[in-house]
Structure 1
Amino acid sequence: MAKKVTRNSTANTLNFRPPTDVKFDKNKGTKPLPDPTSIKNIILLMIVHLCRKVLFIDPNIKVGVYILLVFFGSILGDVLPIPGTYFSRKDNLFNVYFVKLSWGWTMSFVGSFIYLTSNIYSCGDKAQIRKHFLRLLLATINWFFWTNLFVYIEDSYGYCSKAIVRGRKSCLTKGFTWNGFSISGHTFILIYCTLIIMEEAKALVNWDSIKDHVRNEEHNRSSEDSSGATSPLDSLTSEQFDHVKEKYGQFTPYIRVAFIGMTLLALIWDVMLLATIIYFHSTPEKFVASVIAVLLWFFTYRFLFHRRILSLLPGDGTFRYMNPTQPLQSLSVRRSSLAGKATDKIPKFLGMPLNPMRNPSSIAINPAEDSFLTRSVATTDALSQSR
């Protein structure tokens, strides 16, 4: 006689959860963390952050401010009796050692900055590095041509207060006054240098993200799973990746120092431009110089380099760590490529499904457990029929 199965024993028999064997992904949940930062590095980053506030102003806004300031400031300087100050003297320290050598100062800091940054995002490609230096070469040609043209115009179309004396140099040597249209070379060079610094400084936008890209890419290359989050460095060869990894850690402190130096120069140029507007040259001479400087900046950085003619934009290289067409985006925004794409919609924690029962593919049942489950279901069916 078959043994009668009671309801309580059946309930106890069915009160179980099938054992599961959840397979963990060893590569998930082991994403490397950033290295600890020293106090010295934190202080340096704070200074760089303040410098970003100065150089990362939209150049289009800065250009408008320059034009309005030169025009209306020069008119006020001509009309109002502004008292003389230390900056009204031509032999002041900033004028002698900075403004008169402004092109050399600018090219020294900007040139160092371009070499260090382009060496990293170009992966040491000398051809690309030379293309980036073409921007400075073209700027130097513009500076040399226009400053000499200003002198030529003044010499050719001016006259001495003593009619019998010819030539500007002879007139000034003999103590007379030379009357001519002297386009302000200081206004031109100070505005042009500042705009160049602001444009070249854009290479530092999202610069710190390269460190994250290197860390993530190194993790992806060392792991066996190829389904991890992608990075802008995944297309680099092993030699290129090793170059970026080595030079980024080696050059970044010097890049930040050069960036701080460029910021200080930009501040000095703005202060000396204000002194020039108030104390030196006439309004037309300064206004024409400012317009020429702005047009040169627009033609080179907004037309030639934007269309990759003759040279590249700052930040263009073997891999892309920022969007050069929108360089003033928030620095806290990371590239969408770092986020990765979800392979499924199952919530996970450290690579493990939060509810394994909702993921049938992750459950492995051996044959013995399968037969036990079949007998339990059959017993339940027999009870329902006997009722």
Structure 2
Amino acid sequence: MFLNTILVVLSDLAAHFLGNTLVRQHFHLWLSGVVVFGPVLSLWVSPHSIFAKRTHFLYRVFLRSGWGWTCIFVGSFVFLLSFSIRRSISLSIRHLTRLVLAGGLWLGFCKLLDLLENATGSCYEPLVSGPDVTNGPLLVLREGESKAECLRAGMLWRGYEVSEDVFLLCLCCMLLVEETAVFGPYLTLGGVSDAPLRILFMFCVLLLGLWIFLLLCLLAYFPQFPTQLIGGALGCLSWRVLYQGWYRLGPSWYCPGRPGLGLLNTKTCSSPEPENKQVNQDHCNEVKDKDH
């Protein structure tokens, strides 16, 4: 009972914070400020910190498979929430397609960034060996080689890079906020939530905190301007194209709709709480047709 009480209190606080209108409308501005001013932290962090090594556990386990972790926790939360409310597999799958579309957009951007780096880069042979090989003087080897061939030969490739790590972390943060924000209005409207749903929600909240922490670590310990700035801009652009553009068109064969659409009780929506009137009214306008 004690652990369940703690779970309910923490999940309620997190749900109402993420579901707040100001947080949902201005989180992208705060995240943009982190990307712009985060490299300033490099003036105070120690280069001997454990987070200054790319081989750190968090980088290897979470950062390299960030999209997978995001899909596992967010997908589980979205599916369980939607299915527990409507008991409709088709509706749950429709909401899960938002993750598929976001993943497709992310992969498409990554492919374009790879093509850009290949088109603007050249292969170099290091004149020194050892741990400082990337910072030592370089000798142009062969201009006609691709990036893959250059790296397989043990050489160094230098081209116009965009930080895919910052791009991924920004996109995952925005996606987590959008998909979990519906839980606050759902609880406010009297929605029933058992322990598994709350646990999944808290895992999503913890994952959001981890992505923000890793983003700060990358900006502070590995500052790369303007590649990280462009990566963050692409992440925010992807969010705006999907959640502020495409998903607002409403549910159809080509659009899954916004988070929470078709899930909240329209009868309960008729009398929202005063402090959450604006948030709930937005959702009420979106769920008038339960068949969707």
Which category describes the TM-score, using the shorter chain as reference length? Answer: 0.7 to 0.9
SS in 2 for 1:95: helix
Q: Distance in 1 between matches of 2:32 and 2:80?
A: 33
Which residue of 2 is the match for residue 301 of structure 1? 243
Q: Deviations over 1:289-325 (max 9, x none)?
A: 11111111112111222231501222222633777xx
Gap change, CA 1:134 and 1:321, over 3 Å in 2: farther
**What TM-score, normalized by structure 2, do the two folds share?**
0.77
Query: What is the Cα deviation at residue 45 of structure 1?
Result: 0.8
Which residue of 1 is the match for residue 160 of structure 2? 181
Counterpart amino acid of residue 110 in structure 2:
T
- Aligned to 2:141, which of 164, 185, 193? 164
Which residue of 2 is the match for residue 13 of structure 1? none
Counterpart amino acid of residue 299 in structure 1:
V
Q: Distance in 2 between matches of 1:327 and 1:150?
A: 46
Counterpart amino acid of residue 266 in structure 2:
R
Which residue of 2 is the match for residue 320 of structure 1? 266
Q: Distance in 2 between matches of 1:286 and 1:114?
A: 30
Which residue of 2 is the match for residue 357 of structure 1? none
Counterpart amino acid of residue 267 in structure 1:
G
Counterpart amino acid of residue 300 in structure 1:
L
Contact 1:73-1:278 at 8 Å conserved across structures: yes
Equivalent runs, 1:273-284 vs 2, <5 Å:
273-280=215-222, 282-284=224-226
Structure 2 gap ranges (5+): 126-139, 282-292
Q: Deviations over 1:329-373 (max 9, x none)?
A: 549x999xxxxxxxxxxxxxxxxxxxxxxxxxxxxxxxxxxxxxx
Which residue of 1 is the match for residue 54 of structure 2? 90
1:127 aligned onto 2:90:
yes
Gap change, CA 1:126 and 1:154, over 3 Å in 2: same
Which residue of 1 is the match for residue 177 of structure 2? 198
Contact 1:154-1:180 at 8 Å conserved across structures: yes
Counterpart amino acid of residue 141 in structure 2:
I
Contact 1:202-1:327 at 8 Å conserved across structures: no
Counterpart amino acid of residue 51 in structure 2:
F
Contact 1:188-1:289 at 8 Å conserved across structures: yes
Contact 2:166-2:215 at 8 Å conserved across structures: yes
- 41-50 vs 141-150, greater mean Cα deviation: 41-50
- Aligned to 2:205, which of 258, 263, 268? 263
1:65 aligned onto 2:30:
yes
Q: Deviations over 1:80-102 (max 9, x none)?
A: 48531211211101100011111
- Aligned to 2:233, which of 278, 291, 294? 291
Query: What is the Cα deviation at residue 284 of structure 1?
Result: 1.4
Gap change, CA 1:334 and 1:283, over 3 Å in 2: closer
Does 1 or 2 have the higher relative contact order (CA < 8 Å, sep 6+)?
1
Query: What is the Cα deviation at residue 164 of structure 1?
Result: 2.7
Which residue of 1 is the match for residue 113 of structure 2? 150
Contact 1:59-1:195 at 8 Å conserved across structures: no
Q: Distance in 2 between matches of 1:154 and 1:169?
A: 11
SS in 2 for 1:161: strand
Gap change, CA 1:81 and 1:120, over 3 Å in 2: closer
Q: Deviations over 1:149-188 (max 9, x none)?
A: 2222212211122433322234334443321111111101
Gap change, CA 1:159 and 1:259, over 3 Å in 2: same
Contact 2:24-2:181 at 8 Å conserved across structures: no
Contact 1:206-1:322 at 8 Å conserved across structures: no
Q: Distance in 2 between matches of 1:120 and 1:328?
A: 27
Equivalent runs, 1:6-85 vs 2, <5 Å:
38-52=1-15, 55-56=18-19, 58-74=23-39, 77=42, 80=43, 82-84=45-47, 85=49
Q: Distance in 2 between matches of 1:334 and 1:156?
A: 49
Q: Deviations over 1:79-131 (max 9, x none)?
A: x485312112111011000111111110001111111111133x223332222
% identity of equivalent residues: 24
Q: Distance in 2 between matches of 1:272 and 1:60?
A: 23
Query: What is the Cα deviation at residue 53 of structure 1?
Result: 6.3
CA RMSD of aligned residues (A): 3.0
Q: Distance in 2 between matches of 1:71 and 1:194?
A: 16
Which residue of 2 is the match for residue 137 of structure 1? 100
Q: Deviations over 1:2-39 (max 9, x none)?
A: xxxxxxxxxxxxxxxxxxxxxxxxxxxxxxxxxxxx44
Q: Distance in 2 between matches of 1:280 and 1:294?
A: 21
Gap change, CA 1:50 and 1:92, over 3 Å in 2: farther
Q: How many residues align?
A: 255
Q: Distance in 1 between matches of 2:205 and 2:274?
A: 16
1:102 aligned onto 2:81:
no
Contact 2:79-2:93 at 8 Å conserved across structures: no
Counterpart amino acid of residue 115 in structure 1:
F
Q: Distance in 2 between matches of 1:48 and 1:59?
A: 17
